[in-house]
């Protein structure tokens, strides 16, 4: 690895000079103020935690709105990286590359998301709301600048530029723990994304466990939700004609005949050497003559095939204008797979009337399926040769789907998902004491409450009665609270003769049996909610109550794939007793805002005939008349979607939640809406009431943009009832790392040491009657830690200058404020705190020098 002086020499050749050092290397800047990071470390892994790496990465990415990062493994390697990303015309280079697979699509190899993916998804919903989840797309295919197919954990689609989110485990991504070649590959992917206009943010498990900071970072880095492209989408179905032909003429005439019958998607298989390209040229010529196409797109795997196709079209159709750049379409645009996969999202989905995919059997391997789902041409033609090993089902699946911007209800009514029939299974289990933490039910309470065998037996009995034998024999999934619940539920089903098994992160053995039809019901916990693709799933049982719309929709989505002989999806909502609480978990009726219920009734109005055969069978089995009954529904999103919770109000006013609750208790403020939940009340506030509270309490409008000035204003008041704020701030700065974080215990120890020294030397360390003047408190570190949290920390937290992560035992400065404070600012803060401390204690008759305040 290069030394810093060697790196400086290489960077000087590209016009960059050293700007700022960091633990793994240095930032460099050129005369155009472009900033890049170069890594050249001499640091043991124990001295550099991965969360430090991701925090710096994210901070720089946000600050510069895109930044390249390079690795100085050798002079040649660094020079090559700089040439690749700073000088070459990469857009044209990559468009001419063949795509090589790199890694695997998780959804094709795993049936559940990783815990970090699940946690990220749910936190995103909590911060931005469930209505914006559609802007967040998991496992997106990406072709890097070397032509390698990669996968991105999540892409946030925004109108002003997309964001790539990578959720990284330390063992597989920490640059000091992985091989140098693997780190180079990681950076190549990241730099390719930055080159293509995406911002790249990384989080580790440790970074996401710091709940407050993680949420603040999401808001800061992702921007305003008005920029999110959050349109729901489902897959429409194209009718695919898959035919093998012996001759070109047969293929051309067959395509023409089927087009006249309304078909528009054709998979054409011809023997090798019979001129399959001429099939496209002739069919395209006919479409041009008929005025049926203005812009056509031909997609080929390699540059050689692109050049060959250009030459042959020019021979046969000399008047056709040909483009080889995807962003400048003419009559016919001929490009490689790489160019399409990298650029399709930047083009209108209706741009091309006619799309040809040559060597169609390669579509899956090159990631073309997403592009083909995106475009909506009048004609989609796939060509391949019979000497290739063909997977007809896979090809039909790739060519047979396209995206439509519809809600779930609209997709259902258009026949893109099966009809959904609902059954409400009422239990008398008392859930009124289950707590609500503001985003979902407290899981530990759910686990205790759900441990009632009678509830499991109710579910087993209803499934045994309706879905085990005869025409209604179905496979399905029961979503449970936790692993123990899945095991109890599977046992209850087996007791009534249903072949059921538990499946969870540590035991997936039953999944293959389910696909093979050997297991009828799987009992799963929440991790199975993503990455599932079993179209035969016809029954979904919601045995896990949730206030998360995202989780409910994910679970529902496991059964919404169309399949042969699948008349409908049957959803069984378990309706428990929540006492007088208005707040109730999600179910199909509040999801679709339906105020009446009829057992196994269909949800929605359909634009096409829906088979009723299974309903006739259910009529014969159901013991009561299937009459329509009114029900009380509560749609939390509809009722409270525009209101602010207590925590959100505190954030808006930059005060603590304790202050808000105290005001409510004293009736100083009046919530817009309050709803009972168990023994408690949940309070919500409108934007209008927030402005009223701000005016009444004389609270100055404060935002992230004013945080820096607010902090200096706060310090400038020099408001010291006691000396706590002075010593806290000095102790924090003495212990914090480069990310503005410090171990809470270390702060408390320095805090304690300061006051103990004063007590030993002067017989007191604070004002008369202050508890710190009593040795039993002064020597109790736990007491001091609690005392710091109440005062002075709470004073800083209320202004959003600091926060604490109890899980990680961290005290941290707000990341926006930390980034804005320079070394000179901190020197100024220290000077003020020391002088203020000297002045404070002088009034108590205690004369101190600067050395007392040096930690």
Which run of H or of E encompasses 288?
Answer: helix 276-289
**Alpha-carbon gap, residue 101 to 677, rounded angstroms:** 52
| Residue written as token pair 């707590």 | 435
Whether 233 is covered by a domain: the verdict is no
In a shared domain, residues 51 and 191: yes
Which run of H or of E encompasses 151?
Answer: strand 148-156
What is the token pair recorded at 86?
Answer: 């700073």
Whether 234 is covered by a domain: the verdict is no
**Burial (0-12, 13-18, 19+ Cβ within 10 Å), 783:** middle
Mean pLDDT of the chain: 82
pLDDT tens by residue, 455-486: 888 899 889 888 887 767 899 999 988 888 89
User: How many C-beta atoms lie closer than 10 Å to residue 458's C-beta?
Assistant: 19
Percent of the chain exceeding pLDDT 90 equals: 38
Whole-angstrom distance between the N-terminal and C-terminal Cα of the chain?
Answer: 37
In a shared domain, residues 35 and 154: yes
Q: For the residues 177-196, what does the mean pLDDT come to?
A: 93
Whether 845 is covered by a domain: the verdict is yes
At 109, is the pLDDT very low, low, confident or very high (cuts 50, 70, 90)? very low
- pLDDT at residue 673, rounded to an integer: 84
Is the Cβ–Cβ distance between 40 and 2 less than 8 Å?
yes
At 105, is the pLDDT very low, low, confident or very high (cuts 50, 70, 90)? very low
Per DSSP, which regions of 543-625 are E strands?
Answer: 569-577, 596-597, 601-602
In a shared domain, residues 354 and 498: no
User: Could you give the 3-state DSSP secondary structure of residue 247?
Assistant: coil
The secondary structure of residue 582, as a DSSP letter, is S
Q: For strand 354-358 and strand 296-300, is the pairing parallel, antiparallel, or unpaired? A: parallel
User: How many C-beta atoms lie closer than 10 Å to residue 234's C-beta?
Assistant: 21
DSSP calls for 123-140: HHHHHH-GGGGGGEEEEE
HSE-up of 563 (CA within 13 Å, CB side)? 15
CATH number at residue 675: 1.10.1660
Q: Phi and psi (nearest 5°) for 169?
A: -85, 140
What is the token pair recorded at 145?
Answer: 């600048």
Whether 155 is covered by a domain: the verdict is yes
- pLDDT at residue 533, rounded to an integer: 64
Give the residues across from 242 on adjacent strands. 267
User: Could you give the 3-state DSSP secondary structure of residue 242?
Assistant: strand
CATH number at residue 440: 3.40.50.300
User: Could you give the 3-state DSSP secondary structure of residue 241?
Assistant: strand
Percent of the chain exceeding pLDDT 70 equals: 81
pLDDT tens by residue, 643-681: 888 877 887 787 777 788 889 989 999 999 887 665 667
Sort residue 706 into left (φ over 0), alpha (ψ -120 to 50) or beta. alpha
Give the residues across from 267 on adjacent strands. 242, 382
DSSP calls for 687-755: HHHHHHHHHHTTPPP--GGGHHHHHHHHHHT---SSSHHHHHHHHHHHH--TTSEEEHHHHHHHHHHHH
In a shared domain, residues 205 and 254: no
pLDDT at 339 over 50: yes
In a shared domain, residues 720 and 693: no
User: Which residues lie closer than 8 Å to 815 by C-beta, 6 or more apart?
Assistant: 59, 213, 216, 217, 220, 739, 740
Per DSSP, which regions of 283-414 are E strands?
Answer: 296-300, 322-323, 332-336, 354-358, 379-385, 401-404
What is the token pair recorded at 3?
Answer: 């030394």
User: Which residues lie closer than 8 Å to 206 by C-beta, 6 or more apart?
Assistant: 49, 50, 51, 170, 808
- pLDDT at residue 626, rounded to an integer: 46
**Alpha-carbon gap, residue 144 to 80, rounded angstroms:** 16
At 185, is the pLDDT very low, low, confident or very high (cuts 50, 70, 90)? very high
Whether 211 is covered by a domain: the verdict is yes
pLDDT tens by residue, 231-282: 665 555 556 665 555 677 888 888 898 888 888 888 888 765 567 788 899 9
Is the Cβ–Cβ distance between 81 and 49 less than 8 Å?
no
**Burial (0-12, 13-18, 19+ Cβ within 10 Å), 290:** exposed
Query: Cα 372 vs. chain centroid, distance in angstroms?
Result: 24
What is the token pair recorded at 303?
Answer: 């540059």
pTM of the model: 0.63
pLDDT at 57 over 90: yes
- Which of residues 227, 255, 286 is at a domain's end? 227
**Alpha-carbon gap, residue 18 to 26, rounded angstroms:** 7
User: Residue 715: which of 837, 843, 848 has the closest Cα?
Assistant: 837
- pLDDT at residue 638, rounded to an integer: 62
Range of the domain at 309: 246-410
**Alpha-carbon gap, residue 68 to 608, rounded angstroms:** 53
Is the Cβ–Cβ distance between 192 and 145 less than 8 Å?
yes
**Alpha-carbon gap, residue 119 to 529, rounded angstroms:** 12
Lowest mean pLDDT among 24-28, 107-111, 368-372: 107-111
In a shared domain, residues 21 and 168: yes
In a shared domain, residues 478 and 570: yes
User: Which residues lie closer than 8 Å to 710 by C-beta, 6 or more apart?
Assistant: 654, 702, 799, 801
Whether 235 is covered by a domain: the verdict is no
Query: Cα 530 vs. chain centroid, distance in angstroms?
Result: 12
Whether 236 is covered by a domain: the verdict is no
In a shared domain, residues 56 and 110: yes
Is the Cβ–Cβ distance between 434 and 516 less than 8 Å?
no
In a shared domain, residues 78 and 61: yes
In a shared domain, residues 68 and 205: yes
What is the token pair recorded at 667?
Answer: 């009736």
In a shared domain, residues 565 and 610: yes
- pLDDT at residue 851, rounded to an integer: 94
Q: For the residues 104-123, what does the mean pLDDT come to?
A: 61
Is the Cβ–Cβ distance between 201 and 219 less than 8 Å?
no
pLDDT at 356 over 90: yes
What is the token pair recorded at 470?
Answer: 């005869």
| Total structural domains within the chain | 5
Q: What angle do CA 208, 210, 215 make, to 5 degrees?
A: 70
pLDDT tens by residue, 542-566: 988 887 776 787 788 888 888 888 8
- Which of residues 615, 634, 653 is at a domain's end? 634
The secondary structure of residue 345, as a DSSP letter, is G
User: Could you give the 3-state DSSP secondary structure of residue 59?
Assistant: helix
Q: DSSP alpha helices (H): ranges in 292-379?
A: 303-316, 337-343, 368-374
- pLDDT at residue 110, rounded to an integer: 42
pLDDT tens by residue, 293-320: 999 999 998 888 899 899 999 999 999 9
- Which of residues 410, 433, 449 is at a domain's end? 410
In a shared domain, residues 31 and 176: yes
**Alpha-carbon gap, residue 385 to 244, rounded angstroms:** 9
Give the residues across from 357 on adjacent strands. 299, 382
**Alpha-carbon gap, residue 36 to 108, rounded angstroms:** 36
Is the Cβ–Cβ distance between 225 and 132 less than 8 Å?
yes
Is the Cβ–Cβ distance between 255 and 283 less than 8 Å?
yes
Query: Cα 199 vs. chain centroid, distance in angstroms?
Result: 15
- pLDDT at residue 839, rounded to an integer: 96
**Alpha-carbon gap, residue 50 to 119, rounded angstroms:** 19
- pLDDT at residue 616, rounded to an integer: 63
pLDDT at 96 over 60: no
User: How many C-beta atoms lie closer than 10 Å to residue 283's C-beta?
Assistant: 22
**Burial (0-12, 13-18, 19+ Cβ within 10 Å), 740:** buried
Whether 240 is covered by a domain: the verdict is no
User: Which residues lie closer than 8 Å to 567 by C-beta, 6 or more apart?
Assistant: 418, 419, 611, 613, 614
pLDDT tens by residue, 478-533: 998 888 889 999 999 999 999 999 987 677 778 888 988 899 999 988 554 444 56
- pLDDT at residue 411, rounded to an integer: 73
């Amino acid at each position: 690895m290069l030394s810093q002086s060697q790196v400086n020499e290489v960077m000087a050749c590209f016009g960059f000079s050293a700007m700022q050092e960091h633990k793994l290397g240095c930032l460099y800047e050129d005369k155009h103020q472009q900033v890049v990071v170069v890594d050249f470390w001499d640091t043991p892994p124990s001295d550099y935690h991965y969360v430090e790496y991701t925090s710096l990465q994210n901070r720089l990415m946000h600050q510069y709105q895109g930044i390249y990062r390079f690795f100085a493994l050798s002079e040649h390697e660094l020079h090559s990286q700089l040439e690749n990303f700073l000088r070459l015309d990469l857009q044209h280079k990559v468009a001419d590359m063949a795509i090589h697979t790199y890694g695997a699509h998780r959804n094709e190899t795993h049936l559940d998301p990783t815990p970090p993916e699940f946690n990220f998804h749910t936190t995103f919903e909590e911060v931005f709301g469930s209505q914006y989840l559609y802007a967040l797309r998991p496992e997106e295919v990406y072709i890097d600048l070397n032509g390698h197919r990669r996968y991105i954990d999540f892409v946030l689609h925004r109108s002003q530029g997309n964001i790539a989110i990578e959720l990284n485990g330390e063992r597989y991504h920490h640059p000091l723990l992985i091989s140098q070649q693997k780190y180079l590959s990681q950076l190549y992917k990241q730099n390719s994304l930055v080159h293509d206009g995406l911002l790249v943010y990384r989080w580790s498990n440790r970074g996401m466990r710091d709940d407050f900071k993680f949420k603040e970072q999401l808001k800061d880095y992702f921007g305003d939700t008005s920029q999110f492209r959050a349109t729901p989408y489902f897959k429409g179905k194209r009718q695919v004609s898959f035919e093998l032909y012996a001759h070109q003429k047969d293929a051309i005439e067959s395509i023409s005949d089927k087009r006249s019958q309304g078909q528009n998607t054709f998979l054409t298989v011809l023997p090798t050497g019979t001129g399959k390209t001429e099939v496209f040229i002739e069919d395209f010529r006919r479409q041009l003559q008929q005025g049926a196409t203005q812009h056509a797109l031909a997609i080929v795997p390699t540059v050689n095939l692109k050049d060959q196709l250009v030459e042959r079209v020019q021979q046969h159709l000399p008047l056709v204008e040909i483009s080889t750049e995807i962003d400048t379409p003419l009559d016919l645009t001929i490009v490689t797979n790489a160019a399409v996969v990298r650029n399709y999202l930047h083009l209108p989905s209706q741009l091309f009337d006619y799309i040809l995919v040559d060597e169609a059997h390669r579509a899956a391997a090159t990631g073309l399926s997403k592009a083909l789902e995106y475009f909506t041409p009048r004609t989609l033609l796939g060509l391949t040769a019979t000497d290739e090993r063909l997977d007809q089902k896979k090809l039909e699946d790739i060519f047979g789907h396209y995206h439509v911007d519809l809600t779930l209800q609209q997709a259902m009514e258009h026949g893109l998902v099966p009809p959904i029939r609902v059954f409400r299974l009422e239990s008398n289990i008392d859930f009124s004491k289950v707590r609500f933490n503001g985003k979902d039910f407290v899981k530990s309470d759910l686990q205790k409450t759900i441990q009632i065998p009678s509830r499991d037996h109710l579910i087993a009995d209803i499934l045994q009665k309706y879905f085990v034998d005869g025409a209604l024999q179905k496979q399905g999934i029961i979503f449970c609270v936790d692993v123990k619940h899945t095991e109890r539920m599977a046992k209850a089903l087996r007791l009534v003769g249903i072949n059921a098994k538990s499946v969870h992160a540590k035991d997936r053995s039953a999944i293959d049996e389910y696909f093979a039809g050997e297991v009828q019901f799987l009992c799963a916990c929440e991790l199975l909610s993503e990455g599932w693709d079993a179209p035969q799933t016809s029954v979904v049982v919601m045995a896990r109550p949730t206030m998360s719309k995202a989780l409910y929709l994910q679970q529902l989505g496991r059964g919404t794939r169309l399949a042969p002989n699948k008349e409908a999806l049957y959803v069984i909502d378990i309706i428990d007793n929540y006492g007088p609480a208005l707040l109730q978990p999600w179910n199909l009726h509040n999801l679709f805002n339906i105020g009446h219920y009829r057992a196994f009734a269909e949800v929605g109005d359909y634009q096409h005939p829906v088979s009723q055969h299974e309903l006739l069978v259910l009529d014969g089995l159901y013991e009561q008349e299937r009459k329509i009954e009114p029900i009380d529904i509560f749609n939390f999103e509809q009722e409270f979607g525009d209101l602010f919770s207590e925590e959100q109000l505190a954030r808006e006013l930059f005060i603590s939640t304790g202050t808000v609750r105290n005001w409510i208790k004293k009736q100083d403020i009046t919530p817009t809406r309050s709803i009972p939940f168990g023994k408690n009340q949940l309070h919500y506030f409108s934007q209008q009431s927030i402005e009223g509270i701000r005016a009444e309490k004389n609270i100055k409008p404060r935002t992230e943009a004013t945080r820096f000035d607010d902090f200096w204003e706060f310090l400038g008041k020099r408001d010291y009832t006691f000396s706590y704020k002075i010593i806290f701030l000095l102790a924090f700065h003495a212990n914090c790392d480069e990310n503005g974080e410090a171990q809470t215990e270390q702060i408390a120890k320095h805090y304690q040491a300061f006051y103990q020294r004063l007590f030993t030397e002067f017989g007191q360390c604070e004002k008369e009657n202050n508890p710190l003047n009593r040795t039993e408190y002064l020597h109790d570190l736990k007491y001091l830690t609690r005392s710091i949290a109440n005062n002075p920390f709470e004073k800083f937290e209320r202004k959003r200058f600091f926060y604490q992560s109890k899980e990680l035992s961290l005290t941290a400065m707000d990341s926006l404020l930390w980034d804005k404070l320079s070394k000179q600012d901190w020197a100024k803060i220290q000077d003020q705190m020391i002088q203020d401390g000297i002045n404070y204690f002088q009034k108590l008759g205690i004369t101190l020098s600067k050395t007392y305040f040096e930690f």
